[in-house]
Amino acid sequence: MNSPRLGLCKAWRAALLFSAVVLATRQSAQAEQITVDWTDTEIQKFTQQNKSNFPLAPDVAAKVAALKLPVLAFDSVPQLVKNASPADKVPAAPSRQLIMNEADPTWYQLNDQYGDITISVLASLSVNRAVAKSTIYQPPTPSSGSTPSSPPVSVFDENGEPGFTGMFVEYAVYKFPNIPYIVTIECTLAQKDKCSDLAVVAQDMALLKVIAATPPATPK
């Protein structure tokens, strides 16, 4: 059973998500959007092979096909989940939930449930220029000649909020080229030690793959 904090957080996120949908619907005409580089090699490779280790259910696949941005998610069981599983049990494919606004298919949230661990990926093409420049929508600019490093990882636990007995790990990955994909790993207290292994969290970033992409039709 989820801890009270985890249940509260899910309700809080649902409220924020609802507010975001309402706001996006009202401002869709004026909203500035991130441009997708559909020529990206990762997208091209997926559209040629069009396969995934965790195939989407037909109804979900139909909705995903309408999204105006590539869908990024974990396409295999993360090592963090494997480490948190009993030694005699191999983790199965997750229970997957898609949240999106079919009237404004410019964002999505994909929730993968692995028992006591939930991994969410949230992405949007909307740019909120009213927010400070430190917002997640401003991709980091590497110094000249440097190799991009792993994104910074934020950790939230009981030290940051009274009564919170679980853990959240969160980071943003920028792809295609500047779309922020926000990854949130939500763990119960029982899995806290495993989820706090940030070396494994960083290692699992390589498992984020394109699982759906529908490039716009080329005008004839």
Phi, psi of 113 (to 5 degrees): -105, 120
DSSP 8-state class, residue 37: -
**Could you tell me if residue 43 is inside a domain?**
yes
Pairing of strands 32-33, 126-127: antiparallel
**Could you tell me if residue 203 is inside a domain?**
yes
Domain count, the chain: 1
Q: What CA–CA distance (Å, rounded) separates 186 from 212?
A: 24
- Whether the Cβ atoms of residue 83 and residue 34 lie closer than 8 Å to each other: no
Residue count of the chain, please give it: 220
**Could you tell me if residue 217 is inside a domain?**
no
Residue 75's alpha-carbon distances to 178, 202, 209, 210, 212, in angstroms, are 21, 16, 6, 8, 11
What is the domain extent for residue 55?
4-133+151-212
Q: What CA–CA distance (Å, rounded) separates 56 from 156?
A: 31
Mean pLDDT in the chain?
77
Reported confidence tier of residue 144, pLDDT bands at 50, 70, 90 = very low
Q: Collapse the DSSP code of 210 into the 3-class scheme (helix H, G, I; strand E, B; otherwise coil) and give the result.
A: strand
Other CB atoms within a 10 A radius of the CB of residue 180 amount to: 20
**Could you tell me if residue 140 is inside a domain?**
no
Q: What's the pLDDT tens digit per position in 101-118?
A: 999 999 999 999 998 899
Question: What's residue 219's pLDDT?
Answer: 60
Q: Which of 150, 108, 147 is nearest to 125 (CA)?
A: 108
Q: Which residues pair with 72 in a beta bridge?
A: 210
pLDDT of residue 20 exceeding 60, the answer is no
Provide the whole-model pTM: 0.77
- Whether the Cβ atoms of residue 170 and residue 153 lie closer than 8 Å to each other: yes
Encoded tokens for 36: 């997708």
**Could you tell me if residue 189 is inside a domain?**
yes
Q: Identify residue 37 by its one-letter amino acid code.
A: D
**Could you tell me if residue 172 is inside a domain?**
yes
Q: What CA–CA distance (Å, rounded) separates 120 from 108?
A: 10
Q: What's the pLDDT tens digit per position in 181-194?
A: 999 999 988 888 88
The sign of the dihedral angle between the CA atoms of 135, 13, 17, 94 is positive
Which of 73-87, 142-156, 162-176, 188-202 has the weakest average pLDDT? 142-156
**Could you tell me if residue 218 is inside a domain?**
no
**Could you tell me if residue 115 is inside a domain?**
yes
In the block, residue with structure tokens 């997708």:
36
